[in-house]
């Protein structure tokens, strides 16, 4: 048994949707017949009171809506599956947003004042700041021109202006990690968490779809078996009525046969409604490529239950995958790494803030070759600055660091508990599968024995040693056992889907 994961078929018609479309087209004449009130003639049942419920007959493959067809439609067109894809896109958008902290920034400003024929000031400031990843360094390049009668001598420049190239370096807080590097690292880690959430959300959709499919299967099998019971009871009633007319049997036997036929007819009507409702619930997962809901036609029938056994090797593989690759554990692992980055950043804030900036200066027309070297870039022309700040008690920083550490511990404990819960769920579901296998084996023997009892009762009835009541009781018990068998098969298939879901994946066994 190997995992079967369908690709997202966002364009075109999937094979499952084509099958569904064919079933709708095939059911169209039947719908017209029902709308006009005309019914196709049915062949009368054979008058054979010894006829028994037969084993399931082969189904026309053209009418089968298989689990594979359902999977193709769900993974290609289901709105929640499409919505899950937005989680990864949203995480990538946050990464792009965090990268904005390293975008080069161009700053420019111009101010001039002239009054009474006096040029008070003419200020033109330009700066290009390029953040660098290592060391939190900012590379700066600028051009300033501050001229005028009343310009501050500290900022006044030559008429040609001043050009400068320099660096801003944090020597304390921010050297190893700063806010922008922390934000970008956390955003990149959260992409893994978003992908895990996407997979988990799709797995949940598929688990519910698979369960609804096998509920539909069980409702269909119930309705089929009861309808066959109705046909048998009606056939037996007609056969007994003919014998009563011939004087070979007591009239009370025909009353008994009629009662059981009417009782089964009531059950058939109830199960017909349950089958319709199960079909409607399954239709909740059916959408076409235009995001329009699609109804499962009445003509469609479910595939037979495969009952593929899960080997010990497959169980071991699923257990290993659940312990290491389960979406919940991957998301928690990503959160732990993200909180680790946050903790490191909060620890960095305990350092004093020491920022050093230096700029080499030159006249604005430094490109002119006749310019004296005294005004060119060099060690003699510079601007230097040092900033220092340090909160004496660090209460805010220490509180934030303590909170980050507590969040890491909390998430680690949650991961440990989740891992244990997941592994126990996988083991419990596997144990349930093994139990269903044993129950189905016993149920098959019980059904075979019940068939033998019914056959013997029919033979005794022919010899005048049994009654219609006993035959109906044996037959009703056989129908109940067959329905229980189908319920066990449906439960097995749903548990199989749960096994793969609890292991953090999804599987579909195909020929």
pLDDT in tens, 195-228: 999 999 999 999 999 999 999 999 999 999 999 9
Do 307 and 232 share a structural domain? yes
Per-residue pLDDT, 315: 94
* Residue 346 lies inside a defined structural domain of this protein: no
Do 262 and 180 share a structural domain? no
Do 325 and 472 share a structural domain? yes
Burial 50-78 (b: 16+ CB within 10 A, else e): eeebeeeeeeeeebbbbbbbbbbbbbbbb
Do 357 and 323 share a structural domain? no
Per-residue pLDDT, 62: 76
Do 248 and 220 share a structural domain? yes
Per-residue pLDDT, 63: 85
* Alpha carbon distance 192, 176 (integer Å): 24
Per-residue pLDDT, 257: 85
Q: What are phi and psi of 488, to 5 degrees?
A: -65, -40
Per-residue pLDDT, 61: 73
Angstrom distances, CA of residue 126 to CA of 141, 335, 383, 423 = 8, 42, 16, 62
* Residue 7 lies inside a defined structural domain of this protein: no
Per-residue pLDDT, 252: 83
Per-residue pLDDT, 158: 87
* Residues of the chain with confidence (pLDDT) below 70: 1-60, 366-375, 508-511
Do 287 and 433 share a structural domain? yes
Do 455 and 330 share a structural domain? yes
* Residue 96 lies inside a defined structural domain of this protein: no
Find, among 401, 422, 400, 419, the residue nearest to 411 by Cα.
419
Q: How many structural domains compose the chain?
A: 2
Do 310 and 174 share a structural domain? no
* Residue 403 lies inside a defined structural domain of this protein: no
* Alpha carbon distance 30, 475 (integer Å): 32
Three-class secondary structure of residue 176 per DSSP:
coil
Do 289 and 212 share a structural domain? yes
Q: What is the pLDDT of residues 139-187, one digit of tens each?
A: 999 999 999 999 998 889 888 889 999 999 999 999 999 999 999 999 9
Q: Let me know: does 433 contact 315? Beta carbons within 8 Å.
A: no
* Residue 210 lies inside a defined structural domain of this protein: yes
Per-residue pLDDT, 504: 93
Write out the residue range of the structural domain in which residue 416 sits: 15-77+185-334+411-502
* Alpha carbon distance 24, 18 (integer Å): 10
Rg (CA), the chain: 40
Do 290 and 359 share a structural domain? no
**How many beta carbons lie within 10 A of that of residue 4, not counting itself?**
15
* Residue 508 lies inside a defined structural domain of this protein: no
Do 201 and 286 share a structural domain? yes
**CA geometry: angle at 52 spanning 50 and 54, to 5°?**
150
Do 162 and 26 share a structural domain? no
* Residue 91 lies inside a defined structural domain of this protein: no
Residue 71: partners with Cβ closer than 8 Å, 6 or more residues away: 4, 6, 16, 206, 209, 508
* Residue 218 lies inside a defined structural domain of this protein: yes
Per-residue pLDDT, 26: 58
């Amino acid at each position: 048994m190997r995992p079967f994961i369908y690709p997202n078929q966002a364009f075109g018609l999937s094979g499952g949707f084509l099958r569904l479309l064919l079933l709708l087209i095939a059911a169209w004449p039947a719908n017209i017949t029902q709308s006009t009130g005309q019914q196709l003639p049915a062949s009368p049942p054979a008058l054979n009171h010894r006829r028994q419920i037969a084993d399931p007959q082969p189904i026309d493959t053209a009418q089968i809506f298989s689990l594979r067809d359902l999977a193709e439609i769900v993974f290609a067109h289901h709105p929640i599956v499409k919505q899950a894809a937005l989680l990864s896109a949203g995480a990538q958008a946050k990464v792009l947003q965090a990268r904005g902290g390293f975008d080069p920034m161009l700053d420019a400003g111009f101010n001039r004042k002239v009054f009474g024929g006096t040029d008070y000031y003419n200020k033109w400031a330009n700066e290009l700041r390029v953040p660098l990843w290592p060391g939190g360094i900012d590379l700066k390049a600028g051009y300033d021109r501050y001229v005028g009668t009343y310009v501050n001598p500290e900022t006044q420049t030559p008429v040609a202006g001043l050009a400068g190239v320099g660096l801003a370096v944090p020597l304390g807080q921010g050297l190893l990690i700063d806010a922008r590097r922390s934000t970008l690292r956390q955003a990149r880690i959260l992409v893994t968490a978003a992908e895990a959430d996407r997979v988990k959300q799709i797995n949940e959709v598929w688990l519910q779809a698979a369960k609804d499919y096998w509920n539909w299967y069980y409702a269909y099998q119930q309705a089929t078996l009861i309808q066959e019971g109705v046909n048998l009871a009606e056939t037996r009633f007609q056969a007994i009525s003919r014998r009563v007319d011939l004087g070979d049997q007591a009239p009370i036997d025909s009353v008994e046969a009629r009662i059981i036929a009417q009782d089964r007819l009531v059950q058939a009507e109830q199960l017909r409604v349950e089958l319709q409702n199960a079909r409607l619930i399954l239709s909740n997962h059916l959408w076409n490529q235009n995001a329009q809901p699609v109804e499962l036609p009445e003509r469609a029938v479910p595939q037979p239950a495969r009952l593929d056994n899960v080997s010990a090797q497959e169980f071991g593989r699923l257990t290993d995958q659940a312990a290491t690759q389960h979406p919940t554990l991957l998301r928690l692992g990503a959160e732990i790494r993200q909180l680790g980055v946050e903790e490191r950043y909060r620890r960095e804030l305990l350092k004093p803030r020491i920022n050093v900036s230096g700029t080499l200066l030159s006249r604005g027309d430094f490109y002119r070759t006749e310019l004296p070297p005294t005004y060119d870039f060099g060690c003699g022309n510079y601007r230097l600055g040092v900033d220092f700040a340090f909160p004496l008690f660090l209460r805010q920083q220490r509180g934030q660091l303590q909170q980050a550490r507590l969040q890491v511990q909390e998430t680690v404990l949650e991961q440990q508990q989740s891992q244990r819960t997941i592994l126990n769920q996988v083991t419990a579901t596997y144990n349930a599968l093994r139990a269903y296998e044993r129950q189905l084996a016993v149920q098959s023997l019980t059904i075979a024995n019940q068939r033998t009892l019914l056959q013997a009762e029919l033979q005794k009835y022919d010899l005048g040693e049994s009654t219609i009541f006993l035959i109906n009781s044996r037959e009703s018990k056989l129908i109940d056992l067959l329905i229980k068998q189908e319920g066990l098969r449906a439960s097995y298939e749903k548990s199989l889907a749960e096994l793969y879901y609890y292991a953090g994946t999804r599987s579909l066994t195909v020929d």
